[in-house]
A and B are shown apart, each in its own frame.
Chain A
């Protein structure tokens, strides 16, 4: 039985062709590509540390089989076409919304998606949307502040 497949996908704007095991999840394949911003913690889809965008939608990279990324557009936290931080990242820094930083890429990607959907989320909206992102350092109050600041920054920029 052939247990590998060769897949081709766009990774942060550049084409990638690689052979993956059928059992391998996306985080593993990204690590092999030298990108470690999506990282495994719970491996159960419960913490958000492994968040990756597949065709523009945030998925848990620890559960997403790499073969399904064939022909997809994959973006990770490392994606930065202009080479600078965006409003969400800047707000996280200004509000001190992380400590060890292990969970931070997942939070940043989810917050971007939230703000794409809602210009001006309330505290409740924010908490609901980020309920799947865990932070053991518990910088949650700072994250809520950072989301609000980022919303403001985006509005000013728009």
Chain B
């Protein structure tokens, strides 16, 4: 066997690169199986209503239609057809009530997808309209209630207190108390309070949600575009009352995920249809239908700080209202697990956080690249600059003064460890040449610059398992349920196996998630895979290597120096057998007490900062981002090339959410559900960008690495808003940032009234 190479840290191309550039990579949306039916859904046109009747007669009569089902048909198959990761609140098809425009009400199956589509358009429904609530703050005390009774999933001990709660839209309230905020406010030289909002947006992976469900004999095979195969298996099995092993979930590549495809999405309906029809069923959504599946929380954030003359922040109070839409999805976890970072990466002794997950009559909101963090950073980093401006302190100086230093406790009381906040801030300052003069522009074109820094805790505690299988010929397979949705996990994990075993990467394959074959993994989300699955993979590879060496010793050879085939040949007399190494990982974690305090809130911290330069036209309010500098702490990167693509990809996505993307609604109906009316960034929308991972190490991480998929999003929105303020003295507090908003701000400053 060869000595370990140094393959971790190399910018290798993706393992599947050839398949992707030649159009041969497999995605569920493009798959078909023999004898398959297509499912097309009829959706609610009302935000809130009691279902009086559903008329499926015309649809059923259409030639070529195999079947039409409603919630009542599903209920005959599954007594309690409600699913969800935190709450069992979402019906497979609406039952009794509809709770948002776009909610699936009935489904048509046909062998021809166009027949299914046309038949679905013939379905009608009668409702008794009920009052609806759309705003997250309004939902706190609204008479319109989305769910009569809360139904937390039994699996979460910390949600038990919500069971059977009635007549509230608050799905979860999270509170953190540290120090004595009241006293600190009283003793502060200044108190600042600002309110910010963010808009509802969505993921829009170019491959929409898709599941093909093949029924067996009391079992199901699902091919699905999911980021969480293990969860899907357990949840679908629970719905049918089966053991886990009756459901098999297979995942090829994903055409993007970004948090959209976690937990159950298209799977439950496909599975139910397949069991009712006893035929394979494909439920593939159009891009337009993504607007009705899952979105990112709109939020309102109030933040109040006590500050001393010199800029030292002594107290902070945060209130965050998350607009979760009609079904909780993972929103309650966003409220908690991101909520505790709401005061920002600053050393503040007295902190008070209230964070509320709210039900409203809008399409559900879940996790989107950052798990709530970009909304929080938007508020606290805008707030930081507003304070600095009032106190006439430089924006960099106020951050330097307050930044959380290594070893200091964060709001939860957990000390910061391997969190290169200071270094990221300093590198950003250097790259922006912050201490040099800055050309503020002339005439009607003014220039400005801004910075922002944010951080995120990895969701804890979560588990990953992996298997490394070495064949007698010296080739090797890694079995892992991590889903490669474009982030390059297959390649990074294979690099780790190669590093540990010394087997060349060309001889390593990564077996894609297949719950009958690949072991459990919590999910591919929240930038957790490099760290958690990385550890499991490293452990499995080490186990395999140790077993191989032991086998070699058994037959009087040295594992270090003998070629792998020779070891097997000597043992089995021919090229036969294999070595199986297993690995698992769960990080340490201490659950927070009633005040949200814990000494171990997270296994690692992600850090991201952005510097922006802008040009603003003072006559029209139009502005252009002329430079973006992105700094992150990713520990030691496993694959620097893929890592950089992740940083810039995340930044551009957040740039879309900052400048152009917004779901528009009329009476709960989204009115811009297409790429024609909802513009995502194209190649001409990309400003000059620089990305840098600071020289850091996550000592507790595999090979010093940690997650990177979201860090590029953190600072983008506030950095740009701060730069606009720097240029023209207009402060925007709502996303997206538009020319109109700047124009209105300029007019207001000039004392002009606008309609």
**Which residues in window 31-84 of A have CB below 8 A to B?**
31, 35-44, 46-47, 49, 76-78, 80
Residues of B contacting A101 in the complex (Cβ-Cβ under 8 angstroms): 16, 19-21, 25, 253, 255, 486
Residues of B contacting A134 in the complex (Cβ-Cβ under 8 angstroms): 206, 675, 680, 682
Complex Cα spacing A76 to B22, Å: 9
Complex Cα spacing A101 to B653, Å: 16
Whether the Cβ atoms of B13 and A96 lie closer than 8 Å is yes
Complex Cα spacing A45 to B680, Å: 14
- Interface status of B634 (Cβ within 8 A of chain A): no
Complex Cα spacing A128 to B682, Å: 10
- Interface status of B308 (Cβ within 8 A of chain A): no
- Interface status of B649 (Cβ within 8 A of chain A): yes
Complex Cα spacing A140 to B648, Å: 9
Residues of B contacting A77 in the complex (Cβ-Cβ under 8 angstroms): 22-23
Whether the Cβ atoms of B683 and A133 lie closer than 8 Å is yes
- Chain B: minimal CB distance from A31 (Å): 6
- Interface status of A98 (Cβ within 8 A of chain B): yes
Whether the Cβ atoms of A100 and B18 lie closer than 8 Å is no
Complex Cα spacing A89 to B675, Å: 27
Q: Decide: A92 near B21, CB < 8 A? Known: A127-B684, A138-B649, A140-B652.
A: yes
Residues of B contacting A98 in the complex (Cβ-Cβ under 8 angstroms): 20-21, 486
**Which residues in window 10-46 of B have CB below 8 A to A?**
11, 13-14, 16-27, 29-32
- Interface status of A5 (Cβ within 8 A of chain B): no
Whether the Cβ atoms of B684 and A137 lie closer than 8 Å is no
Complex Cα spacing A38 to B31, Å: 13
- Interface status of B565 (Cβ within 8 A of chain A): no
Whether the Cβ atoms of B206 and A37 lie closer than 8 Å is no
- Chain B: minimal CB distance from A43 (Å): 6
Complex Cα spacing A128 to B684, Å: 7
Whether the Cβ atoms of A49 and B206 lie closer than 8 Å is yes
Complex Cα spacing A23 to B114, Å: 9
Residues of B contacting A119 in the complex (Cβ-Cβ under 8 angstroms): none
- Interface status of B686 (Cβ within 8 A of chain A): yes
Residues of A contacting B681 in the complex (Cβ-Cβ under 8 angstroms): 138, 140
Whether the Cβ atoms of A102 and B207 lie closer than 8 Å is yes
**Which residues in window 115-158 of A have CB below 8 A to B?**
126-128, 130-131, 133-144
Partner of A100, one of B208, B253, B286, B680: B253
Residues of B contacting A139 in the complex (Cβ-Cβ under 8 angstroms): 645, 648-649
Whether the Cβ atoms of A100 and B683 lie closer than 8 Å is no
Partner of A37, one of B23, B488, B689: B23
Whether the Cβ atoms of A85 and B22 lie closer than 8 Å is yes
Partner of B645, one of A49, A133, A142: A142
Residues of B contacting A140 in the complex (Cβ-Cβ under 8 angstroms): 652, 681-683, 686
0 or 1 for each of B676-706: is its CB under 8 Å from A? (1 = yes) = 1000111110100100000000000000000
Residues of B contacting A128 in the complex (Cβ-Cβ under 8 angstroms): 684
- Chain A: minimal CB distance from B687 (Å): 10
Whether the Cβ atoms of B114 and A100 lie closer than 8 Å is no
Complex Cα spacing A141 to B681, Å: 12
Partner of A85, one of B18, B641, B683: B18
How many chain A residues have a CB neighbour from B under 8 Å? 53
Residues of B contacting A29 in the complex (Cβ-Cβ under 8 angstroms): none
Residues of B contacting A137 in the complex (Cβ-Cβ under 8 angstroms): 256, 486, 645, 649
Complex Cα spacing A36 to B255, Å: 13
Residues of B contacting A37 in the complex (Cβ-Cβ under 8 angstroms): 22-24
Whether the Cβ atoms of B686 and A141 lie closer than 8 Å is yes
Residues of A contacting B19 in the complex (Cβ-Cβ under 8 angstroms): 101
Complex: chain B residue closest to A37, CB-CB: B23
Residues of A contacting B31 in the complex (Cβ-Cβ under 8 angstroms): 36
Complex Cα spacing A98 to B487, Å: 10
Residues of A contacting B26 in the complex (Cβ-Cβ under 8 angstroms): 36
Whether the Cβ atoms of B23 and A103 lie closer than 8 Å is no
Residues of B contacting A35 in the complex (Cβ-Cβ under 8 angstroms): 23
- Interface status of B231 (Cβ within 8 A of chain A): no
Complex: chain B residue closest to A109, CB-CB: B23
Residues of A contacting B648 in the complex (Cβ-Cβ under 8 angstroms): 138-139, 141
- Chain A: minimal CB distance from B706 (Å): 19
- Interface status of B145 (Cβ within 8 A of chain A): no
- Chain B: minimal CB distance from A45 (Å): 9
- Interface status of A26 (Cβ within 8 A of chain B): no
- Interface status of B485 (Cβ within 8 A of chain A): yes
- Interface status of A93 (Cβ within 8 A of chain B): yes
Whether the Cβ atoms of B30 and A100 lie closer than 8 Å is no
Whether the Cβ atoms of B20 and A41 lie closer than 8 Å is no
Residues of B contacting A138 in the complex (Cβ-Cβ under 8 angstroms): 648-649, 651-653, 681, 686
Residues of A contacting B646 in the complex (Cβ-Cβ under 8 angstroms): 99
- Interface status of B663 (Cβ within 8 A of chain A): no
Complex Cα spacing A11 to B261, Å: 34
Residues of B contacting A47 in the complex (Cβ-Cβ under 8 angstroms): 206, 675
- Chain A: minimal CB distance from B519 (Å): 24
Residues of A contacting B25 in the complex (Cβ-Cβ under 8 angstroms): 101
- Interface status of B674 (Cβ within 8 A of chain A): yes
Whether the Cβ atoms of B22 and A39 lie closer than 8 Å is no
Partner of B13, one of A41, A76, A93: A93
Whether the Cβ atoms of B24 and A93 lie closer than 8 Å is no
Whether the Cβ atoms of B206 and A46 lie closer than 8 Å is no
Complex Cα spacing A82 to B686, Å: 36
Q: Decide: A130 near B649, CB < 8 A? Known: A98-B20, A136-B205.
A: no
- Interface status of B67 (Cβ within 8 A of chain A): no
- Interface status of B204 (Cβ within 8 A of chain A): yes
Q: Decide: A43 near B30, CB < 8 A? Known: A37-B22, A93-B13.
A: no
Complex: chain B residue closest to A23, CB-CB: B114
- Chain A: minimal CB distance from B637 (Å): 13
Whether the Cβ atoms of A104 and B649 lie closer than 8 Å is no
- Chain B: minimal CB distance from A128 (Å): 8
Complex: chain A residue closest to B112, CB-CB: A21
- Chain B: minimal CB distance from A97 (Å): 9
Residues of A contacting B20 in the complex (Cβ-Cβ under 8 angstroms): 98, 101, 104
19 further contact pairs, Cβ within 8 A, besides A38-B23, A144-B683: A24-B114, A35-B23, A37-B22, A40-B29, A42-B287, A43-B286, A43-B287, A46-B675, A47-B206, A77-B23, A85-B18, A100-B206, A101-B486, A104-B20, A105-B22, A108-B21, A126-B683, A134-B206, A136-B256
Pairs of residues from A and B, 5 with the lowest C-beta to C-beta distance, nearest first: A37-B23, A100-B486, A102-B255, A101-B20, A99-B486
Binding site for B on A (CB under 8 A): 21, 23-24, 31, 35-44, 46-47, 49, 76-78, 80, 85, 89, 92-94, 96, 98-105, 108, 126-128, 130-131, 133-144
Q: List, sorted by A's number, 28 A–B pairs whose CB atoms are closer than 8 Å.
A: A24-B114, A31-B32, A36-B26, A37-B24, A39-B255, A41-B287, A42-B675, A44-B675, A76-B23, A78-B23, A78-B24, A89-B18, A89-B22, A93-B17, A96-B641, A99-B256, A99-B487, A100-B253, A100-B255, A100-B257, A101-B19, A102-B27, A102-B207, A134-B206, A135-B683, A137-B256, A138-B653, A139-B649
Binding site for A on B (CB under 8 A): 11, 13-14, 16-27, 29-32, 114, 203-208, 253-258, 286-287, 485-488, 641-642, 645-646, 648-649, 651-653, 674-676, 680-684, 686, 689
